[in-house]
Structure 1
């Protein structure tokens, strides 16, 4: 190949590269942009603006002169930007970013509640908008309230567990010491031995319920649900509570079997109902009745447990489902209560798409109602819905 031919080929290659890179690629990009705009009616700039406006994060861009060049409404809502000015603490962080080029994080939670607005926890991340042009800082603000609440709940839970476990563990240590010192006194040995056994049972029950509650709290709605006979749940719960009821001279009455069915986990539902019955027994006067009834309410199977105890004050009714909350601490400790039973009921109901309701009047008694969506055979749901259950109940009544 001659020198002239090589030069000609090189020129042709260079010209082709110019056509592709300098003419064709921009033209194709422009054509694609035009085609997309024709299809959506929006330019790329408008699309980006809409994304920023709809973002759940507050977004603001500030320059080295302290001017806010861009901010979305969420940035105003979270307090990152106020009246087109960046928040003072955020500006200090932005200045450090401009000086060092390193990202900064800060807590922008307001120390004092804002009038007419819930006080929320705000976490902000600031970084350079571009490493090539170090004149702008972009700040992202996020509502961190849920994470803060979860962390506070975790700390409270650990503190409460530690406190509650200390009581039986400490008691068992003292009782064991007294037991050893009473080796020559059979009556004292029996007395301290019984108390030691009682505390060990209480400790074991608390650990079991803590494990159950920890599993329930982090769980989603139950994925694999079985058809559960409500009458079986009631019968098994009564069997679990029979000894406790007899010891307290409590008579438990129930309505007739219903034939109702729900979708759920039989073991969890039985545990929840047992906890309600145990709670009714613990807070009922000796010799008083406790009743259990089954009904259909707005498509739910409602299992109500009613006692004739002292009742619960209005101020405490919302708190009885909290972990370790006790209306009467003295009585709860006397009966070996852990303060976790009703919290477990609440989470079992939630995991079954159900609820737990409370009616109570001081001096009259209380009714706790566990509600779980009713299961109806498909053949009976086309026109009659829950009435299919009613027919089954009627059939059972006729047999009796």
Structure 2
């Protein structure tokens, strides 16, 4: 082949290659335009399953797990990549009948002791595949159980004084001519009616604190004034029990809160301490500023609370010592109110107690630091005067379990 012929062949090959490359690139651009941008449908479905708040498990005809989401593992529907036996058995039935089936997937250890908390539905997908979707109703079940218990407890607590008043009234009518008997039964009627009134009042207060009504706006409140008023409310009961309540010196501390609610909470703690102390034993109140919060502690040297009861004394109507509570005339709502007052102020209530030694209830409320900064560690009163906080005490080992939040659940009630 001559040189001109070779050159012509090379140029021809180059032209053919350029044209072919252009055509291939154009074809690819057309193909790309027809393909959707972003994730595929399969990828989107996988993301949907994984992000679902319900437990989702897809099973094949043999009951093997094809795909599942993290929520399914959290609900116990899948363990070690094996589906719950109840789900597999239901899936076999669904494959045979081609009809959806609802099943109970509640934890096995809880079955029979509470209503169904995890309810699943098994649906056919065709060709032997099934999907199991479960919804967790645990919160609703707990809320309903709490509501039923509350209604039952209220009914029982109201029934007792109402029944007593009815019986005592009959006794008064039968002894109408006996002045001494009328006076004796009349005193008992007065005590029962007072107890009934106190119970209704505290039920209303607890209802407001749990959200039935809008709480008052928080203002700057003097802690010393709260302590003085609470002492005034409990003076009669303390004197009757021959108990002296001592306090530390004025602190000048301020908090953000509602004065009436704070006085009620502190009064309940004081009444509790007096009711569960022996005659002549001391009860004390102390105030201090700790980590931008004000802590008001009520300490008694009474009978103390058993460790197994300490987490429950804040439940409504719970009484660690039922016989003594009846004798003192408590409603069982005092500590519930304290807990909710603290929570609604952004604070908490803590308890340390030892049987035979006594108890310390500590009400902690965020401090009002004021708009102007004085010296380090000081606050200013409403008049602008600098007020040093109570001396910061060294922290002892934390023996006081914290009570978390209030739910409904949650635990709420009292020992009064």
TM-score bin, normalised by smaller chain: 0.7 to 0.9
Aligned position for 2:378:
387
Give the Cα–Cα distance (whole angstroms) in 1 for the partners of residues 214 and 50 of structure 2.
Answer: 33
- Structure 1 residue 171: deviation in Å? 1.3
Select 2:314's aligned residue among 312, 321, 324.
321
Aligned CA distance change for structure 1 residues 85 and 290 (closer, same or farther; 3 Å): closer
Select 2:356's aligned residue among 340, 363, 377.
363
TM-score, normalising length: structure 2: 0.74
Aligned position for 2:21:
none
Give the Cα–Cα distance (whole angstroms) in 1 for the partners of residues 344 and 124 of structure 2.
Answer: 45
Aligned position for 1:125:
121
- Structure 2 residue 170 is the aligned partner of structure 1 residue 177: yes
Instruction: For 1:132-147, list aligned pairs within 5 A.
Output: 137-147=130-140
Identify which range, 185-194 or 342-351, moves more after superposition: 342-351
Answer whether contact 2:244 2:281 (CA < 8 A) is retained. yes
Aligned position for 2:406:
none
Aligned position for 2:107:
110
Aligned CA distance change for structure 1 residues 28 and 125 (closer, same or farther; 3 Å): farther
Select 1:53's aligned residue among 50, 53, 61.
50
Aligned position for 1:347:
340
Give the Cα–Cα distance (whole angstroms) in 2 for the partners of residues 221 and 29 of structure 1.
Answer: 59
Give the Cα–Cα distance (whole angstroms) in 2 for the partners of residues 306 and 71 of structure 1.
Answer: 54
Answer whether contact 1:259 1:392 (CA < 8 A) is retained. no
Aligned position for 1:193:
186
Identify which range, 284-293 or 77-86, moves more after superposition: 77-86
Aligned position for 2:10:
none
Answer whether contact 2:94 2:101 (CA < 8 A) is retained. yes
- Structure 1 residue 376: deviation in Å? 0.9
Select 2:324's aligned residue among 328, 331, 344.
331
User: What's the CA shift string for 1:193-239, capped at 9, x where partnerless?
Assistant: 01011001111111221222233235799694322222222222222
Runs of 5+ in structure 1 lacking a partner? 1-25, 115-119
Aligned position for 2:161:
168
- Structure 2 residue 269 is the aligned partner of structure 1 residue 276: yes
Give the Cα–Cα distance (whole angstroms) in 2 for the partners of residues 395 and 101 of structure 1.
Answer: 73
User: What's the CA shift string for 1:234-253, capped at 9, x where partnerless?
Assistant: 22222222222233232222
Give the Cα–Cα distance (whole angstroms) in 2 for the partners of residues 340 and 277 of structure 1.
Answer: 14
User: What's the CA shift string for 1:22-58, capped at 9, x where partnerless?
Assistant: xxxx999857x42xx3xxxx44543442342243321
Identify which range, 221-230 or 244-253, moves more after superposition: 221-230
Aligned position for 2:283:
290
Q: SS of the residue aligned with 2:368?
A: coil
User: What's the CA shift string for 1:116-167, capped at 9, x where partnerless?
Assistant: xxxx9422234466xxx79754332233322222222222222222222222
TM-score, normalising length: structure 1: 0.76
Aligned CA distance change for structure 1 residues 102 and 395 (closer, same or farther; 3 Å): closer
Aligned CA distance change for structure 1 residues 223 and 190 (closer, same or farther; 3 Å): closer
Instruction: For 1:193-342, list aligned pairs within 5 A.
Output: 193-218=186-211, 224-342=217-335
Answer whether contact 1:63 1:69 (CA < 8 A) is retained. yes
Aligned CA distance change for structure 1 residues 89 and 315 (closer, same or farther; 3 Å): closer
Runs of 5+ in structure 2 lacking a partner? 1-29, 392-416
Give the Cα–Cα distance (whole angstroms) in 2 for the partners of residues 218 and 185 of structure 1.
Answer: 50
Aligned CA distance change for structure 1 residues 104 and 229 (closer, same or farther; 3 Å): farther
Larger helix percent: 1
Aligned CA distance change for structure 1 residues 103 and 230 (closer, same or farther; 3 Å): farther
Aligned position for 1:76:
73
Identify which range, 48-57 or 218-227, moves more after superposition: 218-227
- Structure 1 residue 389: deviation in Å? 5.8
